[in-house]
Amino acid sequence: MLTPLSTDTGTDEFVAAAIPADAPDHDLRAAAATRAAGMALPSPEQEVWRYSRIAELRLADFEPAAVRTTVSGSEQVLAADEAFVAQLVAGMDVHDVFDELNAAYHRTVAISVPAGKVLAEPIVVTHHIEGGTVGGAGVALYPRLVIHGGADSEFTVVERFESSDDTHALVVPRLLVHAAQAARVSYVGVNLLGAHTWQLGHQQATGERDSTTLLGTVAIGGDYARVRTDARVTGQGATTKQVALYYADGTQMHDFRTLQDHIAPKTYSDLLFKGAVQNTAKSVYTGLIRIREEAKGSVAFQTNRNLTLSAGAWAESVPNLDIRTNDVKCSHASTVGPIDDEQRFYLESRGIPPEVAERLVVLGFFDDVLNLLPVSSGSLAALRADIRARVANKLAGGR
């Protein structure tokens, strides 16, 4: 049994739940549960949780449950080697109690694409977030996705999180991406969660020599949705790209914390996050580019742009650099502000109604992010169209 979090640390207790005795990794799960029991919940006083809503969370309101996950497109690859997956998972960083809770209660989907394999169609992993009642008990779900790309492989994985507005849930997903030499691995996470669901995500990606990893995020749903992404380039010539589109309305909040970690020389990273907030919604972005001592000749860019579409909306953007060597090229930029008046005036002066002009400007604002996501052709074209439609619906006041 998982014992409650100690009240001596100032945390709330939460409902204990049994770890299946027949689980192959029962001992590892039990050890993680024990560690979690002695840990405090994070606090907004910690820099990495600054501006967050973590102080509102009561773990006592959620009981661990199994997530229902469906996978399509997996017939294109071989079953992942369990020992190798365990080796990858053992290398995951542990930052807080939520990492340990995921280790105790996780339901894992593992995808391993063999060396040299190129997949024309994506693998789609959908987590159906169900259970819990608004105003009553909620459920806590701990999905884990492990992705390995063999040498010189190429493929895309789409991970979807879906729940209805009458679902009361806490989702604590973990993502581990590993790209071997010259692999080209693309990932897109799509948040379509309901109005009473929280998400506290942590992603870790590692790219070896000459590999390319793309980590994409589309955040539309949820009450409070947070994703921490640690993207590492550990082999010379490796590239990592991070892109995100997020839109919050009502009282929603989207929260992103990113790390571009250059460990090897002549590596490259690029980040473009764009978001919009309206009504009394909020967004937070804090990012760090870290160029380590051994990473000479590296190049890194970081850009965050935010639109505030209502007087009560709020966005925070905090880019940072940590450069520990010379012979590098780095830049970071961020903006927060309303729609450009000149763009709006240009459209309205040509007879376009104000509400249509605003919709066109916002959709145009997001276009370069959509163009970077691997969703522009094949079966993923429908996903791109769906994202645009959902953005337009939010702008019109829908959910």
With a cut of 60, say whether residue 90 has pLDDT above it. yes
With a cut of 70, say whether residue 19 has pLDDT above it. yes
Q: Over the chain, what is the mean pLDDT? A: 88
Task: Give the relative orientation of helices 341-348 and 354-372 as an angle to the nearest 10 degrees.
Answer: 120
Banded model confidence at residue 8, pLDDT cuts 50, 70, 90: very low
Q: Among the listed ranges 87-91, 108-112, 150-154, 278-282, which one has the minimum average pLDDT value?
A: 87-91
With a cut of 70, say whether residue 119 has pLDDT above it. yes
Banded model confidence at residue 89, pLDDT cuts 50, 70, 90: confident
For residues 169-188, give the mean pLDDT: 97
For residue 388, the Cα-to-chain-centroid distance in whole angstroms is 19
Position 65: which residue type? A
pLDDT of residue 16: 45
CA distance 188 to 125: 10
Banded model confidence at residue 378, pLDDT cuts 50, 70, 90: low
Q: What percent of the chain has pLDDT over 90?
A: 65
Q: Among the listed ranges 74-88, 206-220, 329-343, which one has the minimum average pLDDT value?
A: 74-88
Q: What is the pLDDT of residues 243-258, one digit of tens each?
A: 999 999 999 999 999 9
- The partner residues of 147 in beta bridges, in order of sequence, read 111, 177
For residues 273-278, give the mean pLDDT: 96
Determine contact, residues 280/313, Cβ cutoff 8 Å. Answer: yes
pLDDT of residue 18: 59
For residues 170-197, give the mean pLDDT: 97
Sign of CA dihedral 53, 232, 368, 197: negative
Domain ranges of the chain: 63-339, 340-399
Phi-psi region of 26 (alpha: psi -120 to 50; beta: other; left: phi over 0): alpha
For residues 207-230, give the mean pLDDT: 97
Closest among 129, 100, 143, 128 to 14, alpha carbons compared? 100
With a cut of 80, say whether residue 78 has pLDDT above it. no
Banded model confidence at residue 20, pLDDT cuts 50, 70, 90: low
Determine contact, residues 71/146, Cβ cutoff 8 Å. Answer: no
Banded model confidence at residue 313, pLDDT cuts 50, 70, 90: very high
With a cut of 80, say whether residue 5 has pLDDT above it. no
pLDDT of residue 9: 32
* Lookup result for tokens 């550990």: 234
